Amino acid sequence: MGFQDRSARQEAVVPLPFRRAGVRSVFGCALSGIAVLALITACDSSDDTPIALPPPGPAPNPAVTITIDDLTYSDLPTITPGAVVTVVNHDQVRHSVTSRRPGLFDKQVEAGQTITFKAPVEIGSHPFYCRYHAFMEGWFSIRQRQ
């Protein structure tokens, strides 16, 4: 009986520091975390302030070509805002490059044909699909030239 009481007390005590860390504010981190490295680390991971880091990978491309073979878009390099995108359809059926965001872009490319259009200017990932074959999916990764 005495042993069980002790373990119950431990369960009640152990989580307390974690609860404190979870509600600690940025101001609290600055005051209390300076002396204790471990505490700073804990605060950094619990405050979800996004840090604007450039995405990894090669430099963005101002002009790219997407090929479509066997109902599949080729891999896409990272592109600059407004990059010139050429779409080459090697299949014997019509495809499209249609933005998941309605109205952003919706380009049709007939069997065996090539089209060119300008990518969006908004930085970020722009998923698209083929409206004739909904399982066909791709995306533009758009970022500024560094």
Q: Which positions lie near Cu ion, rule CB under 5 A?
A: 95, 130, 132-133, 136
Given the complex with Cu ion, which of 47 and 69 has the nearer CB atom? 69
From 87, 63, 83, 82, select the one nearest 136 (Cα to Cα).
87
Alpha carbon distance 42, 36 (integer Å): 10
Given the complex with Cu ion, which of 24 and 95 has the nearer CB atom? 95
In whole angstroms, the minimum distance from the beta carbon of 92 to Cu ion comes to: 11
In whole angstroms, the minimum distance from the beta carbon of 127 to Cu ion comes to: 15
Given the complex with Cu ion, which of 94 and 143 has the nearer CB atom? 94
From 69, 74, 55, 66, select the one nearest 142 (Cα to Cα).
55
Identify residue 6 by its one-letter amino acid code: R
Given the complex with Cu ion, which of 9 and 100 has the nearer CB atom? 100
Q: Where are the alpha helices (DSSP H) in the chain?
A: 2-13, 16-23, 26-32, 37-46
In whole angstroms, the minimum distance from the beta carbon of 27 to Cu ion comes to: 54
| R_g (Cα) of the chain, nearest Å | 26
In whole angstroms, the minimum distance from the beta carbon of 136 to Cu ion comes to: 5
